[in-house]
Structure 1
Amino acid sequence: MPEVTAERASTRAAFADALPELAVRHGVLVVDTDTGSVKPTAEMDYLNVGIAENAAIGLAAGAEHCGRRALVCTFGAFAVSRAFEFIKLDIAYPRRRVCIVGTHGGASGGWLGPTHHATEDLALMSALPHMRVVVPADAHQTAPLLEQCLRHDGPTYLRLGRKASPLFAGVPAPELGVPQVVRPGRDIALVATGPEMLSTALDVAQALADEGHSAQVINAHTVDQEAAAATGRALAGQCRLLVTLEEAWTSGGMGAQIAAAVGARGIPWLPIGVTGFLPPGTHASLLEAGGLTADSVLRQVLKSVTGPR
């Protein structure tokens, strides 16, 4: 059974540490947008185009067209908002082998406010045909999933947090597109994406066990239409409630993809995520305000299972 460790580490920092060696080994052109998240080395092919997300996407697409794999590093909110048309037509449509890395995912932008909160990215990027959307469960999963994105024969979007987040012991190595059942269960399926939500799901599953419920926990580290179908197949056969947890808008995000994939089974769905714009604040305070803490999620699940208490 996986456990949340006492340590915390940033997926963004894990990416920064792993990228130089992986970029050189796989011959990747790294295009940065002045994020401060890339540590360029003399051996890397590295370009910093400044705060120009559209140009970065177009440059990466052109490099891939000429035979180079490419990676673009930017803030998640800016990638999907400012450069979405370029991503759609220059990357997804021709299936370019470009990895788009979006940092400050979800509410991890904290005090930077709605301009930097990336709560729409899972829905928008998952809507694109051919795009694999990836959210590591923790810093340990970041380097393996980054390498798989760089080797993938098509476009990928890798979503990272800003600062230190939970680490897990006992979670196996990830495989792109394959959901991980990290806790078995029969009655309730808690499907979570990202470090904070997986930590919450594990806490809620234990609390549900104390209430007599058997809760399955699934780490959905790949969040797109193809992965949603695989997650649907991983749900326990006796599942009577699907609960999805995501640090993103629930409209069109991870949960909506999975609910659509399992719709024929008639399983009731409880979507838990961000439902509106978030004000500036600490990451922790924003999760609490959004009802994404373990206590809040547990109340919502118990209400769905047993009615008001």
Structure 2
Amino acid sequence: MRTLNFKFSKIALVVTLVGFALFSSCKKDNDEPQNLSIADIVAADDNFSLLETALNHAQLTGTLKGEGNFTVFAPNNAAFAAAGLDTDAKITAMSAETLRQILLYHVLPNRTPASAIPMAANTAVATSANANVFVTKNSNGVFVNGATVLNADVNAKNGVIHIINAVLMPATGNIVQAAQANANFSFLVAAVLRASQGSTNVAQVLAGTGPYTVFAPTNQAFINAGFATVAAIQAADPAALTRILTYHVIAGRVLSSDLTQGATPATLQGGTVTITLTGGAKVKGAGNTTASNITATNVITTNGVIHAIDQVLLPAN
């Protein structure tokens, strides 16, 4: 599954401390302390060449080379490529300040090695970008915002590196704002606005405190469901749209790492959907004959998370 590319936003830099040690990992690496800094280790590893470029462009190399204690969730080159940042040129074309805030979202301002934490889902951990990442530990391993920790405990003289398989993107707004920022969800946004003209203000619900998890149908999913244009959605019955849209929403923050085979979470509509993982993660509505593929995952918002799907979910009649 790929990760959606959303607009980057500037986040104020406020260094906050984490109240506990983090991470029992999938695989440990380099248990012995090193005389190299975090920046030195990144520079010496060909698998971190894109991260090295990013740190240089964001002017964070000196910070991670200097004194202190840091933890870095370090995306490898494959992670940068999956995020659409597969060349040095694409990275250096970004605003240095925007990139700086994204990279700081990967940094904790203390050394947090792979020590035991309770088996738990989505523990909020403050980063140096003044925004939380969400850490899950389960029988499948350790995950940050749904990204897998591939190698943990690459020790440095000024901290520790945990290698991850995705670039972490901080929230750019709430669920409604994140959907509005992505052109592939324009039909969904139209449906939310039209539904909100009825007795339930769906937009207000999805912009609320939450947290919520939204299985978000893409534009093509709406077209396949019979809504050929935005105008067709705007002409639909608000009550019918509300019933369908709330069927796509689960209370709580459920990242891809939290999905389990055969789970039947309850939706805000009142019915349940069924999760399957065989052959890729899927979600099926009670009124659907086939399951929808979860095509993109873990879009973090200020009040939850969005997963893109390729089919509109239908509740039971």
Q: Please, what TM-score do these two structures have when normalized by structure 1?
A: 0.32
Q: Please, what TM-score do these two structures have when normalized by structure 2?
A: 0.31
Q: Which of the two has higher C-alpha Rg?
A: 2
